[in-house]
Amino acid sequence: MELKTFSDHASLSAAAASMIIACVKRCPGALLCLATGDTPKLTYQMVVEYAKQEGISFEKCFFIGLDEWLGIPPENSGSCHYFLHTHIFKPLGIHPSQVYLFDALTRDEEAECEKMNKLIAEKGPVDLMLVGVGMNGHVGFNEPGTGLDTITHVAILDEVTRSVGQKYFQEKVSISKGITVGLKQVMQAKNLLMLANGKKKAPVIQQVVKQEISPKFPATIIRMHQNGILMIDSEAASAL
C-alpha cells in the first residue's frame, strides 16, 4: 500500500479524479466500482470537469455501485443510487446500460447478491475501485467482523453506521441493513483507492495505518493490497 497525504480535501480530490481519468484513458472499457458518501463527492465533480476539459469518453466503461441501504428507494436523495446518478452518471452522460446498482427494494436479497457476484465474475476484476472509510472502519457495508473472504452480501448495520448514516437523509429513516460488494472482491480490484478527509477521520485513519490488519477494522485490508493507495488530507493524517 502507498500512503499519500494532501494538504486539503480539494487537492486530494483532484489527485483521485486524475487517477480515475488516467484509468479510463489506459483502459476505455474499464470496470469501475464507486463508493458514495461525503468524501468522494468532490472527486466525482472533478472527474466530470476533467473529462469535459480533456474530451475523455466514458461511453465504453461499466459502473457498479459498491453498496446500498436496503429498503431505501432510489428516488430518496440519501440512497447510493440517487447519489451516483446525481454526482457522476448524469453529468457524464452515462447510459443506463453501462450501470449496475443494487436494487434496494429487492424481495430476494440472496438473488440480488448473486447478480452482483455473477457480474463481477463475468466483467471483472474491477479495474478501479474507489472506497471511503466509515467511522467504525467499514468499507462499503463490510462492517467490523466481516471475513476477508466475503463476497457480495447483506449486512446488518452496526450502531455507528446507523447513526452516522442519518446524515445522508433529509428525514429520519430506519437503516438497519445494507447490501455490499465483499472484502474479497475489494481486494481483487486491480487498483484500490481509499479516501478519507477531515479531522473526524483522524482516529479512524490512525487505526487503518497502525492497528494490526484484521476483520475487526475492515479498512486495514488496504495495507495488504498490491495497488492500494490510501489518500488522506492533512486533517485525517493528524493522528499519525
* Interacting residue ranges for ligand GLP, rule: CB under 6 A: 35-39, 66-67, 131-132, 134, 140-141, 161, 165
Given the complex with ligand GLP, which of 27 and 45 has the nearer CB atom? Answer: 45
Active site residue 143: yes
Go through the chain and tell me how many residues it has. Answer: 240
CA-based torsion, 218, 131, 176, 108: positive or negative: negative
CB atoms within 10 A of CB 10: 13
Kindly state the cell numbers that stand for 233.
Answer: 488530507
Q: Is 191 annotated as catalytic?
A: no
Shortest Å, Cβ 18 to ligand GLP: 19
Nearer to ligand GLP, 140 or 228 (CB): 140
**Spatial contact of 200 and 169, defined as CB atoms under 8 Å apart:** no
3-state class percentages of the chain: helix first, strand second, coil last, to nearest 5: 40, 20, 40
**Best CA proximity match to 234, nearest among 183, 185, 196:** 196
**Least Cβ distance, residue 206 to ligand GLP (angstroms):** 16
Based on the residue annotation, tell me whether 87 is a catalytic residue of this protein.
Answer: no
Active site residue 138: yes
- Look up residue 85 and give its three cell numbers: 446518478
Minimal distance, residue 55 CB to ligand GLP, in Å: 30
Contacts of residue 107, Cβ cutoff 8 Å, sequence gap at least 6: none
- Find the catalytic residue in 9, 67, 81, 197: 67
Q: Which of 81, 112, 136, 225 is catalytic?
A: 136
Owner of C-alpha cell 464507486: 34
Q: How far apart are CB 73 and ligand GLP at their closest, in Å?
A: 17
Nearer to ligand GLP, 24 or 194 (CB): 194
Of 23 and 136, nearer to ligand GLP (C-beta) is 136
Active site positions, annotated: 67, 136, 138, 143
